[in-house]
């Protein structure tokens, strides 16, 4: 198999986003659009990935450099069209003789299978492979002009198209596969003699046909090639991702009673036989194992949930929450950087941060791990089978031994030994008849004043 490289076009200005942030750094499903393209390039085996950026996109250059080092971006200055943008990546790919895939930085939902199919066309002898789709409204998209024999003859931009060509509904997604040598050789012959006065990447199809090479179209769904130019389109891309992911998870054996109200991140892993109730949001980094229940109105990010655990309703799992098998995290419980042991329970109203909770421990309502002194964070460790009475404040660093009890309403500042009872509260006293005397006295006082 020839080596593979990707060129990701991201030098457009993205003015319609009305944002200080470069367009391709806006997230879809918790991951920036350019990272979607980079991830796609990696998944199809591209060893070299060059992102074409505009000269003033410092944040974007640094973002790409953080992933791949300084040679990962090429500057296009000024932007003279998609063909010109690809040429800007030529020197970064000098010496590369394999297959190139051109991707856009603002088109996040392309399936890897579509790109693999394009590379397959090259391996089967095609000179150029283009990813196309049947558009509901072809509008401004480039049209794919095909011949009867399934051959792609040319791509015509809407502005340059004839009335007949405008009726074609098979459109260009922008994704194109070409061997590097042919790509840069043909691009050198592309002119800007067209309505937009731009150097069109799409012109290489006609040039490849003129030199006798075959050009092939691979198709995918319109929703998979949705490009983002505005906040409204960003929201549409998000919605398209969510619709696709919900469908995949339902097919994979996840139960959702109202899937349209459940939101996933790009990397959410939900195993078969998980139940997800309505109105649940998954941020990045969540893995939920089989048989777990995620109940309504819960928010999870950076969390692991083991088999048969039950989360919510109204629970919040933050990064580093690890909820053990059959454990229960109930309403208004927040868990951060804390391992909750097998079968342990925190059913109501608690903050569990920077801790470790043993198997079958019971954390009462209103328990707070006081983990922070304004400067540093400290650990709270609770042993197996320990019982923390309601409304206890555990001032970290602190350890509660296996099987120990903490009395309700305690403020615990010292370690508690295994199987002990710790009380950290004022002792209750009682004054018989006090209330009667108080009322009599106060009533007399009030009467003397009126």
Residues binding ligand UD1 (CB under 6 A): 9-12, 52, 76, 79-82, 84-85, 104-106, 141-142, 155, 157, 171-174, 200-202, 227
Strand 281-282 and strand 299-300: pairing?
A: parallel
Q: Which residue is nearest to ligand UD1 (CB)?
A: 142
**Residue that the structure tokens 């003789």 belong to:** 97
Minimum gap (Å) between residue 157 Cβ and ligand UD1: 5
- Please, which residue, 79 or 358, has the CB nearer to ligand UD1? 79
- Spatial separation of the C-alpha atoms in residues 351 and 218, rounded to whole Å: 52
Q: Calculate the CA 1 to chain-centre distance.
A: 31
- Spatial separation of the C-alpha atoms in residues 51 and 106, rounded to whole Å: 12
Six-digit token pair at 425?
């509260």
Nearest CA among 389, 322, 381, 386 for reference residue 360: 386
- Please, which residue, 118 or 311, has the CB nearer to ligand UD1? 118
Cα four-point dihedral sign 352, 389, 399, 374:
positive
**Residue that the structure tokens 């992911």 belong to:** 245
Minimum gap (Å) between residue 227 Cβ and ligand UD1: 5
Strand (E) or helix (H) holding 406? strand 405-406
- Please, which residue, 3 or 153, has the CB nearer to ligand UD1? 153
Minimum gap (Å) between residue 121 Cβ and ligand UD1: 18
Q: Calculate the CA 280 to chain-centre distance.
A: 15
- Please, which residue, 159 or 442, has the CB nearer to ligand UD1? 159
Distances (CA, A) of 269 to 103, 323, 336, 387: 26, 15, 19, 32
**8 A C-beta contact, residue 181 and residue 188:** no
- Please, which residue, 106 or 354, has the CB nearer to ligand UD1? 106
Active site residue 287: no
Minimum gap (Å) between residue 199 Cβ and ligand UD1: 8
Distances (CA, A) of 171 to 132, 136, 138, 372: 5, 10, 7, 57
- Spatial separation of the C-alpha atoms in residues 344 and 285, rounded to whole Å: 23
Distances (CA, A) of 67 to 24, 28, 86, 446: 15, 19, 21, 77
- Dihedral pair phi/psi, residue 311, rounded to 5°: -120, 130
Nearest CA among 259, 321, 260 for reference residue 288: 321
**Residue that the structure tokens 């011949």 belong to:** 147
Minimum gap (Å) between residue 11 Cβ and ligand UD1: 3
Minimum gap (Å) between residue 202 Cβ and ligand UD1: 5
3-state secondary structure (DSSP) of residue 117:
helix
**8 A C-beta contact, residue 301 and residue 319:** yes
Spot the catalytic one: 26, 84, 322, 348.
348
Six-digit token pair at 333?
């419980």
Strand 215-219 and strand 275-276: pairing?
A: unpaired
- Please, which residue, 155 or 368, has the CB nearer to ligand UD1? 155
- Please, which residue, 22 or 312, has the CB nearer to ligand UD1? 22
- Please, which residue, 93 or 400, has the CB nearer to ligand UD1? 93
DSSP collapsed to 3 states, 256-292: ECCHHHCECCCCCEECCCCEECCCCEECCCCEECCCC
Minimum gap (Å) between residue 180 Cβ and ligand UD1: 18
Minimum gap (Å) between residue 248 Cβ and ligand UD1: 25
Active site residues: 348
């Amino acid at each position: 198999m020839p080596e593979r490289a990707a060129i990701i076009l991201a030098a457009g200005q993205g003015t319609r986003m009305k944002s200080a942030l470069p367009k391709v750094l806006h997230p879809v499903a918790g991951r920036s659009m350019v990272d979607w393209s980079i991830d796609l390039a990696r998944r199809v085996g591209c060893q070299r990935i060059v992102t074409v950026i505009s000269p003033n996109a410092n944040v974007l250059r640094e973002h790409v450099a953080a992933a791949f080092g300084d040679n990962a971006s090429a500057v296009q200055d000024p932007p003279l069209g998609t063909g010109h943008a690809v040429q800007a990546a030529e020197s970064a790919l000098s010496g590369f003789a394999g297959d190139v895939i051109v991707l856009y930085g603002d088109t996040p939902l392309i399936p890897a299978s579509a790109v693999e199919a394009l590379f397959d066309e090259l391996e089967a002898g095609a000179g150029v492979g283009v990813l196309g789709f049947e558009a509901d409204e072809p509008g401004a998209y480039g049209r794919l002009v095909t011949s009867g024999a399934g051959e792609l003859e040319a791509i015509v931009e809407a502005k340059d198209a004839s009335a007949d060509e405008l009726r074609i509904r098979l459109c260009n997604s922008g994704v194109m596969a070409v061997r590097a040598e042919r790509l840069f050789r043909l691009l050198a012959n592309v002119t800007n003699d067209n309505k937009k006065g731009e150097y069109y990447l799409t012109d290489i199809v006609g040039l490849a046909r003129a030199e006798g090479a075959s050009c092939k179209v691979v198709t995918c769904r319109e929703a998979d090639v949705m490009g983002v130019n505005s906040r409204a389109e960003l929201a549409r891309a998000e919605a398209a991702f969510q619709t696709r992911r919900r469908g995949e998870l339902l097919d994979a054996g996840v139960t959702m009673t109202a899937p349209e109200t459940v939101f996933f991140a790009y990397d959410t892993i939900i195993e078969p036989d998980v139940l997800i109730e309505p109105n649940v949001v998954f941020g990045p980094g969540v893995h939920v194992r089989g048989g777990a229940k995620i109940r309504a109105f819960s928010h999870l990010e950076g969390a692991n949930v083991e088999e048969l655990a039950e989360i919510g309703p109204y629970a919040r799992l933050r990064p580093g929450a690890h909820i053990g098998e059959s454990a229960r995290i109930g309403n208004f419980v927040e868990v951060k950087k804390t391992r909750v042991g097998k079968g342990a329970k925190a059913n109501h109203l608690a903050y569990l941060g920077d801790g470790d909770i043993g198997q079958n421990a019971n954390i009462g309502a209103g328990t707070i791990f006081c983990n922070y002194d304004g400067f540093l964070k400290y650990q709270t460790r609770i042993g197996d089978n320990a019982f923390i009475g309601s409304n206890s404040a555990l001032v970290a660093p602190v350890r509660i031994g296996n099987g120990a009890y903490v009395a309700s309403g305690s403020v615990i500042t010292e370690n508690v030994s295994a199987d002990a009872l710790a009380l950290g509260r004022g002792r209750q006293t009682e004054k018989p008849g006090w209330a009667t005397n108080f009322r009599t006295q106060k009533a007399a006082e009030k009467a003397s004043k009126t």
